[in-house]
Amino acid sequence: MFWDKLSFVYDLMETLYNRKVFIETGVKVAEYIDRKDVVLECACGTGAISVYIAPKCKKLFASDFSVGMLRKASRKCRKFHNVIFKKADITSLKCKDNRFDKVVAGNVIHLLDDPKKALDELERVVKPGGRIMIPTYIIMVTESSMRVIGILDKLGANFKRQFDFESYKQFFEDMGYKDVEYFVVEGKMPCAIAVITTNK
C-alpha cells in the first residue's frame, strides 16, 4: 500500500518542504478542542495533528486506513495516555451515532472516490452542535508545488481532486454545508481548514 510505504519518510518530507504548515495546522485545529471533548480523528496519518489534539482533550480516538501510518502515529503519541489508535475506513465508521464532540479529518478529502459518503459518516458520528474540522492542502500554482504533487501522484497517491481556496469553499457549499468557517495556514503548500458546526 502506498501510504504504508510513505509512512517511513512522510514526516521528513513534510518537515523539509512544508514545515511551517505541517506544524501550524495542528496548532490551529487544537484551538477548537476543549478539555471535556471526546474526539475522533480520521486519517490521522503519522499523528501530525494528533500530537496537538491529545493534550487538550479528554479522549482521542485516532484512526487511519494505513497500518504503517498508525504505527508512526502511535510512537509519536506514546506519552499521551488518552489516545486509542485503530484502523478504520472514513467512509464506513464502526461506531454509534452522535458519539463524538469533535471530529477531525486531515488531508484526506481530496483522495476519496466518494467524499460525500465520508462527510455523511463524520456528520453521523458527531454530536448535535459539535464540530467537524477538515484541513486540506490547497494548491498554489507554483513550479515546486506542482512538482511535489506530480511526484506523489506518480508514486501512487492517486489524488481525486485538487483545490484552491475558492474551489474548497465551493466544494462544501455544493455538499450543502452553510455554517462553515474557513482558515488558511499559509506556507509553501497552504492548508485550508473548514470548520463545520452541525445543526442536526
Query: What's the mean pLDDT when you consider all of the chain?
Result: 90
Is residue 178 predicted with pLDDT exceeding 80? yes
Which segments within 58-179 are labelled E, that is strand?
A: 59-64, 83-87, 100-105, 126-137
Can you read off the three cell numbers belonging to residue 38? 471526546
Note the pLDDT of residue 7.
Answer: 78
| pTM for the structure as a whole | 0.88
In the chain, what is the greatest distance between 2 CA atoms, to the nearest angstrom?
45
Question: What's the pLDDT band for 123 if we cut at 50, 70, 90?
Answer: very high
Q: What is the pLDDT of residues 79-108, one digit of tens each?
A: 999 999 999 999 999 999 999 999 999 999
Residue 194: C-alpha distances to residues 24, 54, 82, 159, 183 (Å): 15, 20, 25, 19, 7
Is residue 149 predicted with pLDDT exceeding 90? no
- 125 touches 98 (CB < 8 A): yes
